[in-house]
Chains A and B, each alone.
Chain A
Amino acid sequence: MSAGTVRDPGFPTERENYLTNSKGILSWMFTLDHKRIGVMYLIGVSISFALGGLLALAIRLHLMDPDGWMFRGADANNIYNQVFTLHGAIMVFLFIIPSIPGALGNFLVPVMLGAKDVAFPRLNLSSFYLWVFGAVFFVMALLSSGLDTGWTFYTPYSTTTDTSVIMATMGAFILGFSSIFTGLNFIVTINTMRPPGMTWFRMPLFLWATYATSIIQVLATPVLGITLLLLIAERTMQIGIFNPEFNGDPVTYQHFFWFYSHPAVYIMILPAFGIISEIISVHSHKHIFGYRFIAYSSIAIALLGFLVWGHHMFTAGMSSLTTIVFSALTFTVSIPSAIKVFNWLATMYKGSISLTSPMCYGISFIFLFTIGGLTGLHLGTLATDQHLHDTYFVVAHFHYVMVGGTLVAFLGGVFHWWPKLFGKMFNETGGRISAVLVFLGFNLTFLPQFVLGSRGMPRRYATYDPEFAFLHQMSTYGALLLGFGILVAFITLMHSLFRGKRAPANPWGGATLEWNCTSPPPFYNFERAPVVGDPYDFHDIEWQESDERYVTVQPERKLAPEADPSKSPAHASHKH
């Protein structure tokens, strides 16, 4: 079709892809290959998500009726409290925080960077096993005497309740190490293992996002670890840090806890921003708009994120001055997020948009995350937060960010990279239907909760006043629809493993390095050292109708006789 040399690695052979190059369960359990570790994480976080999701459905079904529908009898409230605690704790500690870095990050960071593996493959494997270990602790807490503190473990309730707080906090402590190891590994990998030509500003934005996330993981998680150890010490030895009975102060705990957990919110959302930047650009076949602004804003969010924890405590009785300072800082962090939304829209403008499944999730993300972000303004504003704090408005807000944002981005990312992960194409119709169902179900679940909260419905209530019943019921129907949408996504992906067409190296026409290797990638990721260029330059990517795939076409360059090819660097890309 066009003049020039076509670069396309074709299909992998049976032997040279990472899935098949060695066989047997042990070859997986003791693998040091970041791609296999990523796949194991993917399975692990998916199981956690399924568990947390079933608990979410239980919560919603219980709230069908003002007096409680699902759990009955004298213990109904206790069971409800345990269910929402486990839902929150599992979703946060076992799913949202590890999902993108653990599963997609592990798989993609070295490939997108053009490296053979992460810097410390053994540390990487150990961080996965720490995750498993922490998860086991959580499940044990669930099976022993339950856990009913809420995922925040607020003192003095958590130091006095007789449920398995220690088991669960140990779990969270271990998961913290897993998170730190992953972050450390990515920081070192990105700093030291970039191949020639991969300058900082040629890194795909997903890597920038991962880098920013890793900084938070390494700096903030230790604080959580220490806090949880103090909590355990307080519970067992009553040393009097948090419990007023021994001259402690419960608000100190909240400061410690949120000093980690607020930045942790950005561990949840930053990698999602990275995924969306990739999806929007690749499926619009257009250079990402404002690359540097997006890259810098990731770092800005990571740093500012450390300064705003106090906004979880606007009603706790901090001094007025402290409260006001925290409110001001909170607003500063919303600006970098707003910038990203505008950049994504500008990227779509005059693009060549394919409405593939990942793109449907990407569009859905922008819509939902915008709502989540904007409603944060009501909570950052001091006067309105007095009314809205600890109501369903907050529940709706953080689900718009975490579920509408991170989960939707995660699903989009899984669809986007699925052909690369497993070498199979999924059924586009199934994928798109799932995106639409998730979008509709999600909004039906959480829009009513903004109204509930504005009307004064407090959160974490097992029973409620009858005037809230209608909105709660709507929310429950939404949750069922949402669950169904996720099921459709799951079936579509599973179906592809067995019936899917073989995936070409570059099914979407992306310019980042991972589309340069076969799908699935070979054991060492690349057959030949990849040529690094601008990750969002789509000029030489052409669709080949005959083979139904995108290939990279390098134009035959006619050098002017006086131009001396030795003067230009080997990895030079052609800027337009």
Chain B
Amino acid sequence: MAMLPAAFSLLSDYTEDYAWFPDSASTFAADSDWLYYAITAVCIFFFIPISICLFYFAAKYRKAKGEKAESQVSHNTPIELLWSIGPSIFMVGMFVMGARAYLDMRTIPEGANEIGVQSSKWSWSMDYGRGTYHPELHLLVNEPVKLTMQSSDVIHSLYIPAFRAKKDVVPGRYNYMWFHPTKVTEKVSDEELANATKITEESATAWDYDKWQFTPDGYRFYDLYCAEYCGQDHSQMQTVVVVHETREDLDAWIKKYSSRGSDTLEAYGEKLYARRGCIGCHTTNGTSGTGPTYKDAFGTTRQLANGEKVTMDENYVRESILVPKAKVVAGFQPVMPSYKGQLSDDDLDSLVAYIKSLSANAETTSEADAEATPEENAE
């Protein structure tokens, strides 16, 4: 019974519990859904007679033990040819339409807007050019966009159900995909946004996309999933897609994330920590994840996998971000992706400042350092 609403509300909204498909928000959706329904119709066309025969025969020809069958016909070549060739015709149709729609999905139009995608366990980073990176995917309505995707560790797969688009991101090669968004995502009212921001700040937690159903900037969104199993937090490797109505709106959003603005180094560093995916592997509460925790780390001596020791200072942090495999801490796998070319000097400074701020003892030593150094130089 509970299945019925699902079956009868094919066109209802995604956010409702019983929708058959998510929103149709790209040009691929129409083709894909149409084909899906057409194939389903063919399936039903065959399935209903098959199941009627199945149960009807079972009831009708049920006989007492030992009663002989009414017929022992063992073959009928014309019928057999008919039911071999008949269905094949439907299949040729499905194949041809499927292949044509697929070629569309593979033919990237010229002049499409380009966005780079970097995937790593377990986060996405979209490259908007000019040094602006952000995990959310922001697009402009009615303009084709091309994604150039690379992975820094294992295979991931970028999947946007509302666009009916999916493509694996394979390490060691670039994979491309494109789509053409057709539906703008709305913006929530300022009060709603202010309220959510206030609650989030008060609870001192990360932004809860599931709870609010809009981004920290107040945009409603489509889901973007990782569809290829990639380890521990595969199911958390999600982000959101926002489709803007005007280029100005999109540009304003990109600009907002292109530089530090009026934030302090520390505060901006904390944002980058969340936005650039460090949060996926490094905790700030002392438990180690895939990578070492940041808590009380700065200023300590690290035991490296190759037996050496090194002090965790500014240079070490910087090197670990740009060339992570150079000095791997003992007990951890060399799996961190390099951020070389993806962080400006100011970004790096911010991250260092943030990591420093998490160490009780580093606070003093580093401040002492900072003051001591010029004095030492002066001497």
Contact = CB atoms under 8 A, between A and B. Distances in A.
A331 B50 contact: no
A456 B29 CA distance: 13
Interface string B155-192: 10101011011111011110100000000000000000
Contact of B36 (A287, A323, A384, A463): A384
B61 A351 contact: yes
A286 interface: yes
A459 B58 CA distance: 37
A385 B162 CA distance: 14
A148 B231 contact: yes
Contacts of B53: 345, 348-349
Contact of A456 (B175, B223, B234, B335): B223
B195 interface: no
Chain A interface size, as a band, is 35 or more
A331 B91 contact: yes
B98 A381 contact: yes
Contacts of B67: 352
A387 interface: yes
A3 to B, nearest CB: 17
Contact of A156 (B75, B99, B155): B155
Interface stretch (A35-43, A74-82, A419-427): A74-82
A352 B57 contact: no
A345 B105 CA distance: 40
A391 interface: yes
Nearest to B19: A455
B204 interface: no
B306 interface: no
Interface string A387-422: 101110000000000000000000000000000000
A353 B62 contact: yes
Contacts, number: 299
Contact of B58 (A348, A375, A463, A576): A348
B65 A354 contact: yes
Interface stretch (B37-45, B252-260, B307-315, B338-346): B37-45
A538 B69 contact: yes
B32 A157 contact: no
Interface stretch (B80-88, B133-141, B268-276, B291-299): B80-88
B21 A455 contact: yes
A460 B58 contact: no
**What 4 A-B pairs have minimum CB-CB distances, sorted nearest first?**
A244-B172, A456-B161, A543-B66, A381-B98
Interface of B: 2-3, 6, 14-15, 17, 19-22, 28, 31-32, 35-36, 39-40, 42-43, 46-47, 50-51, 53-55, 57-58, 61-63, 65-76, 79-80, 83-84, 87-88, 91-92, 94-95, 97-103, 105-106, 153-155, 157, 159, 161-162, 164-168, 170-173, 175, 210, 223, 225-236, 287, 333, 335
Given A455-B19, A458-B225, 12 more contacts: A74-B287, A160-B153, A250-B171, A286-B69, A289-B74, A289-B75, A324-B103, A354-B65, A363-B55, A374-B46, A377-B91, A459-B229
